[in-house]
A and B are shown apart, each in its own frame.
Chain A
Amino acid sequence: QQQVKQSPQSLIVQKGGISIINCAYENTAFDYFPWYQQFPGKGPALLIAIRPDVSEKKEGRFTISFNKSAKQFSLHIMDSQPGDSATYFCALTGGGSNYKLTFGKGTLLTVNP
């Protein structure tokens, strides 16, 4: 079964705009919520991550917002740039799972110049 639902599947944003990608999960046992960025032909790379004891984490133009009661977390990319065009995956792990990550299906972000 799918434990994390990611939306939208694709997103087109103008340069300078805000990109928002959402994920919702079902099980409350998770305790680590990373986001990965993947460029064509490359493996995913860790972008930013959050734990459920905080509601927001910001690193540069990238912010994760976390709503534990709603079991949702989102990635916000401020001042989006063409170089941000990539596929973004949310993921989660926890509960003594040998650090196995369960991934969302991904969002293809295109930032137009």
Chain B
Amino acid sequence: DAGITQSPRHKVTETGTPVTLRCHQTENHRYMYWYRQDPGHGLRLIHYSYGVKDTDKGEVSDGYSVSRSKTEDFLLTLESATSSQTSVYFCAISESDYGYTFGSGTRLTVV
């Protein structure tokens, strides 16, 4: 997707281990978001950022933390992964309310 990449694309991890997902953009957009997608739940906001070092919680933030030390990078950390965090994670960027650009997603499996 134009100007936004997520890494890794797939990851399998064990319960209790920390995991960090990375979102990188080249669009210089101010706003960045992390969503998780689960069957029957659609897309739910985990955390978002409205500038460097400015972040806030979304509706499903428990067990997750984020950091944004540079405009282009937004990191999502699962502090101690649980099976309920098995999901597809999407990063999105935005400069206005015209709409988001989403990354291709990270499929995370916690075993």
Alpha-carbon distance between A105 and B37 when the two chains are bound, in angstroms: 9
Q: Report the bound CA distance from A99 to B50 in whole Å.
A: 9
Known: A43-B103, A100-B58. Is A93-B97 also a contact (CB below 8 A)? yes
B: contact size bracket = 20 to 34
Given contacts A89-B42, A104-B42, contact A98 B102 (CB under 8 A): no
Cα distance, A24 to B33, chains bound together (Å): 24
CA distance A42 to B104 in the complex (A): 5
A104 to B50, CA, bound (A): 23
Instruction: Output the nearest chain A residue to B33 by Cβ-Cβ distance.
Output: A100
A32 is an interface residue with CB less than 8 A from chain B: yes
* C-alpha gap A105/B38 in the complex (Å): 9
Q: How many angstroms between the C-alpha atoms of A34 and B44 in the bound complex?
A: 16
Which bracket fits the contact residues of A? 20 to 34
Considering only residues 52-85 of chain B, those with a C-beta below 8 Å from chain A are 56, 58
Q: Which residues of A line the B interface, CB within 8 A?
A: 6, 31-32, 34, 41-46, 49, 89, 93-94, 98-106
Residues of B within 8 A of A (CB): 1, 31, 33, 35, 40-45, 48, 50, 56, 58, 90, 92, 94, 96-105
Identify 22 residue pairs between A and B in the complex whose beta-carbon atoms are under 8 Å apart, listed by A's number. A32-B97, A41-B104, A41-B105, A42-B105, A43-B1, A43-B90, A43-B92, A43-B102, A43-B103, A43-B104, A43-B105, A44-B43, A46-B101, A49-B99, A98-B31, A98-B50, A99-B94, A99-B97, A102-B45, A103-B44, A104-B42, A105-B40
